[in-house]
Amino acid sequence: MSQSRDFRSAALAAGLLALSISPGMPAAEPAAASPAQIVVSGTGEVTLPADQARFSVGIHTSGASAAMAGSENARVSKSVLDALTAASLDKQDIRGSSLEVGPEWEWDEKARRQRRVGFTATNTISIQTRDLAQLGRYIDAALLAGATDVSDISYSAKDVATARRKALEEAVNAARQDAEAMAKAGGGTVGSLLLLSTERPGEMPGVALEEIVVTGARKSHGAVETGIRPSQIRVTARVIARWVFLRGGP
């Protein structure tokens, strides 16, 4: 009985093997080869004039106690705010301030430890303005009134989104022109578009700022006003594109 089952199994296996190699069966077709492709990148750039500036001025004071440091800071801060108002800064352009008061330490070499020598107070006044022509005047007024430091100035523009779309259009056109030049050099033409994607370089997506340029010199007597030329806003866009490469000329 066992020999009969073994015989039937062997016969079935032989039949399946014969069927799999039968000359009448069509052979599996190989996968179609991918078309030759041209892959390029393109960059577009649009420059906008800045129309808004942000910066801050700091007032740093010290005293034997926290109350003394804070009181002196309040006095100087009021003087700075009055000076900014006198320099025609709109009060609405003053966006707020923050005050920090804390101990001041120095290293005692003899005792080999930190020693408290007093207290410090720092007030930071934030300013945002569209009157870019007066930036130097505002900074000078704050410093002459007692401000101890001024932050970097950051610039912005209103219609960055429209500028970016224009930069994208330029980037795609640049990519297409490069692809056509490459195809021609390779003895062919550009076929259908397979892929088009964007990349956003930089800290802000596709937006870069030129450096601040100071054109004046600050002097203690205030005879020369600080001159600041607002930055240009450079909006950039980069695309990656892939086209089919058609061999042979048109």
Give pLDDT tens digits for 204-241: 444 444 333 333 333 334 456 788 887 788 999 999 99
State how far the Cα of 230 lies from the Cα of 228, in Å rounded to an integer: 6
C-alpha dihedral, 167 to 173 to 176 to 182, nearest 10°: -90
Q: Which of 156, 176, 200 is the last residue of a domain?
A: 156
How many domains does one find in the chain?
A: 2
Residue 24 lies in a domain: no
C-alpha dihedral, 164 to 165 to 167 to 170, nearest 10°: 170
Termini Cα distance of the chain: 75
Q: pLDDT by residue (tens digit) across 62-94? A: 999 999 999 999 999 999 999 999 999 999 999
Q: pLDDT by residue (tens digit) across 160-176? A: 899 999 999 999 999 99
- Does residue 215 share a domain with residue 190? yes
Tell me how far CA of residue 80 lies from CA of 7, 23, 154, 218, in angstroms.
107, 97, 21, 17
What's the whole-number average pLDDT of the chain? 82
- Does residue 149 share a domain with residue 213? no
Q: Which residues does residue 124 pair with via DSSP β-bridges, in sequence order?
A: 58, 98
CB distance 121 to 61 below 8 Å: yes
The whole domain housing 249 covers 33-51+158-250
Which pLDDT score is estimated for 105? 94
